[in-house]
Amino acid sequence: MAWMEWLAGLPPSLLLQQSGTAYLLVNAAHIVFLGVLVGSIVSLDLRLLGAGRSLPLNLVGPFLSRMAAGGLALARPLGRAWVETSLDIYDATNGAADGLYTALGTSGRFAVGRADLSLGAAYWRTPAGNELGLDATVATQIADRLVAYARVERAPTDPLYGTPRDLTASFGVSWRVTKKRLARAIPVVELAEPIGRGRKVRFQLAGGVADRAAVAGSFTDWKPRPMQRAQDRWVLEVVLEPGIHHFGFVLDDGRWFVPDDAPGIVDDGWGQRNASLVIVEGR
Amino acid sequence: MTMNGLHTLVGVRMRKTVIALGVLASMGGGTIPALVERAFAAQVNSNLARAKAVLPPDAMRELERAVDAARSRGLPTEPLVDKALEGAAKGVPAERILAVVRQLADELGRAHELVAGSGSATPADVTAVADAIRRGVPEGAVRLLRDGSAADEPIALAVHTLADLLDRGVPVDVALDVLGAWRSHGARPDQLRELPAAVERLIREGVLPAQAAAAVASSVRAGHGPGAARGPAKPAARGAGRGAGRKDSPASPPEPPHPGRGPGRGNKPGKPGA
């Protein structure tokens, strides 16, 4: 296939074809990381199924999970950085420069103090040849709705529109004029007024989530307590004593449900999850 | 009676009152924790009775054994019984319920060791720390949180908030810094609850989690509160018509050059078209 030929023509691929040592090292690394990934997952699964009970799950679980994640190249937010890779393939047919355009790209976004740095690179294979595109942008907030930025870009030749390869630099200020937001989602839990040592708590779900909804948790002995329908939502108010409370929702025919935006989501130990809430005395 | 005599009488009566109050206080000092403990025990016994109704006899014996073992180690036992009730309500087989109960006992033991250094740790604190560790909070972070805590600080809520911040992708050191900022400015529990929400708001605006948390910490330190935090910039939007945060479609065809278009041309570095 054409895209495979394109891959074979990339400089790293050519190196692997020509150098036995490079191929050996890359293949070994590939096997090692696969082993780390699969080995960690299998070990964790065996422990969850009950093997090696003497090994505390709260110690080996996080370690094995991290090992598995480390063995796999992932695009994920890392708190201070976001890195992703992509492979784009599209077929342009406009009579100017028909053909297959493919790009292998990588981009990253990094926090540098109060500034945001974005870097990108893409290797383009086009009907007119192969070229490298690069860009770097740094942006920093200078006021509530004002962002100052600087960008440098090396754009490859564009055969479709006849623009030649060039290097551009741009500077500017971006002003967000309006600050409209989408309507807020219904909060799953709202804390109301203190009652005695505890606190009244309102549990809520969007009305469209089910025909019947109930709350079940440590404060109901895990028996479903039916919620009431109020306009666009299901509601139940409960007074909770100080302490930590686990809960979830039971929908329709008994399906256990915990919304993604529920507070304090924690694994229940049986493959499902609970939400959790801490009530502090008098607060 | 002379004034001096009256004062003496009042003084004696006051001394007697003070002594009586002191005796009552010392009795209460020993009695009240005992009453609370009895109340907890009554609650646990009540829950055990409910567990007996839903668990098979041999599983019930194992549960009682686990509860007794936890009690002898000074661990809270209500979470264990509650876990068994939860499993029964969710239709989990008895042997899996017991496996998780034993695991929870281990976690409570570990949590108890971690918060033992802070003299005022309650059963709720131990349970909350066990929960936080299960949610991925490193034990070292719990120790740091414990070491810096004041006597009346709600450890349960603080460690729960730390877990909430980590859930949002905030690195541990930055999350601890946020809590440090909260501590240094009044340590109000209601403000503690606002911290994860403020970080989440900034993340939804496109700020990276670490920067969002740092902005919240700065806002708290400046005395403005978590809700006033403003994050640093997102990368400048590329091209008119693309919404902030919306991923550029790799499948979109090349676009013709457009005068006055914003910084950058197209979706990818060097993408054909402008």
Report whether pLDDT(A238) > 70: yes
Is residue B265 pLDDT above 50, yes or no? no
CB spacing of B88 vs A222 below 8 angstroms: yes
Residue A225 CB partners (closer than 8 Å, separation 6+): A214, A215, A216, A236, A238
Mean pLDDT across the stretch B120-143? Answer: 90
How far is Cα B29 from Cα A235, in angstroms, rounded to an integer?
42
Q: Is the ipTM of this complex over 0.90?
A: no
Which pLDDT belongs to residue A25? Answer: 62
> How many Å apart are CA B181 and CA B175, to the nearest integer?
10
Q: How many CB atoms sit inside 10 A of residue A78's CB?
A: 17
User: What pLDDT sits at residue A40?
Assistant: 65
Q: If you average pLDDT over residues A125-135, what whole number do you get?
A: 85
Chain B from 9 to 38: CB within 8 A of any A CB: none
Q: How confident is the model at residue A8 (pLDDT cuts 50, 70, 90)?
A: low
Among the four given CATH numbers 3.40.50.970, 3.30.420.40, 1.10.10.10, 2.60.40.10, the one describing domain A189-279: 2.60.40.10
Does pLDDT of B200 surpass 60? yes
Q: Which of residues 115-154 of B touch A (CB under 8 A)?
A: 123-124, 127-128, 131, 133-136, 154
Q: Please tell me the predicted confidence (pLDDT) of residue A183.
A: 61
Q: Give the closest of A80, A144, A222 to B171, CB-based.
A: A80
Whether residue A92 and residue B254 make contact (CB cut-off 8 A), yes or no, is yes
- Which of B88, B92, B270 lies at the smallest CB-CB distance from A155? B270
CB contact under 8 A, A133 and B271: yes
Q: Do A116 and B271 touch (CB under 8 A)?
A: no
Percent of chain B exceeding pLDDT 70 equals: 66
Q: Which residues of chain B neighbour A265 with C-beta distances below 8 Å? A: 135, 167
Domain ranges in chain A? Answer: 2-70, 81-175, 189-279
Q: What is the mean pLDDT of residues A153-182?
A: 80
Q: Which of A58, A242, A246 has its CB closest to that of B110?
A: A58
More confidently predicted of A125 and A190: A190
Please tell me the predicted confidence (pLDDT) of residue A82.
73
Mean model confidence pLDDT for chain B: 74
**Band of residue B242 on the pLDDT scale cut at 50, 70, 90:** very low
C-beta of residue A47 within 8 angstroms of C-beta of residue A41 = no
| CB contact B175 to A (< 8 Å) | no
Q: What b-and-e string marks burial along A2-30, b requiring 16 or more CB atoms within 10 Å of the CB?
A: eeeebeeeeeeeeebeeeeeeeeeeeeee
CA A72, A73, A77, A80 dihedral sign is: positive
Q: Please answer whether residues A234 and A227 qualify as being in contact, where contact means their C-beta atoms are separated by less than 8 angstroms.
A: yes
- The predicted pLDDT at position B186 comes to 81
**Chain B residues near residue A78 by CB distance under 8 angstroms:** 169
**Segment holding B95, helix H or strand E:** helix B94-115
Inter-chain Cβ pairs, chain A and chain B, closer than 8 A: 221
pLDDT reported for residue B255? 35
Nearest CA of chain B to the CA of A206: how many Å? 20
Q: Is the pTM of this model over 0.90?
A: no
Helix axes B155-167, B139-147, angle to 10 degrees: 140
At residue A171, the 3 state secondary structure works out as strand
pLDDT > 70? residue B175: yes
First to last CA, chain A: 66
Reduced to 3 states, what is the DSSP secondary structure of residue A169? strand
Please answer yes or no on whether A244 and B171 come within 8 Å at the CB atom.
no
Taking the mean position of all CA atoms in its chain, how far away is CA B235? 33
Nearest CA in chain B to A155: B270
What is the C-alpha to C-alpha distance for residues B115 and B39, in angstroms, rounded to an integer? 23
Looking at mean pLDDT, say which of A36-40, A58-62, A202-206, B37-41 comes out highest: A202-206
A50 vs A283, more confident:
A50
A100 against A242, higher pLDDT: A242
Q: Which of A63-72, B122-131, B208-217 bottoms out in mean pLDDT, i.e. has the lowest?
A: A63-72
Structural contact between residues B157 and B191, judged by C-beta atoms closer than 8 angstroms: no
pLDDT tier at A276, thresholds 50, 70, 90: very high
What is chain A's alpha carbon radius of gyration, rounded to the nearest angstrom? 27
Q: What is the pLDDT of residues B42-55, one digit of tens each?
A: 666 677 888 888 88
Report the pLDDT averaged over residues B154-183: 92
Closest by Cβ to A264, choosing from B160, B233, B234: B160
Query: How far is A18 from chain B, CA to nearest CA, in Å?
Result: 29
